[in-house]
Amino acid sequence: MAIVRILFVDDCDDDVFITTRRLKKAGFELETCTVALEHELREAIERFSPDIVVSDMTLPGFSGLDALDVVRSSRPEIPFMFLCGGAERCERQALQRGAYAIVDKDHAESLPAVIGSALACH
């Protein structure tokens, strides 16, 4: 399997660690970058050149929807998905704005399949 470059937009290192571990157990080879601020996201999109972006909904100083808008405006071809608690709260608006998927942290066992599907479609 090719190395997958995931840009995490998250301010919780534990969540990123758990997600990364889950994906590695599912057979993904990963290269990751984590950002938590809007200016870091803008820089990482260009510098890191991710295959996919996985974002939390609540971030310091800006929202996951803002992060989605940043990625859509600069690199619309990159699949963007949310991994958040209470996913149903944000689902409609996120999908309308171009998110590929929303996965609830409490049901994250589906995450490897969703990421695999997103990468296969793009």
Spell out the domain ranges in the chain.
3-56+86-121
The answer to whether 82 and 94 have CB atoms below 8 angstroms apart is: yes
pLDDT tens, residue by residue, 30-87 = 999 999 999 999 999 999 999 999 999 888 888 899 999 999 999 999 999 999 876 5
Tell me the mean pLDDT in the region 14-23.
94
The two tokens of residue 113 are: 């399949």
Q: How many CB atoms lie under 10 A from the CB of residue 15?
A: 19
| Candidates 1.10.287, 3.40.50, 3.30.420, 3.30.43; CATH matching 3-56+86-121 | 3.40.50
The answer to whether 104 and 87 have CB atoms below 8 angstroms apart is: yes
**What residues pair up with 102 in beta bridges, in sequence order?**
82
pTM for this model (two decimals): 0.93
> What is the model's pLDDT at position 1?
62
SS3 60: coil
The answer to whether 50 and 6 have CB atoms below 8 angstroms apart is: yes
3-state percent helix, strand, coil for the chain, nearest multiple of 5:
50, 25, 25
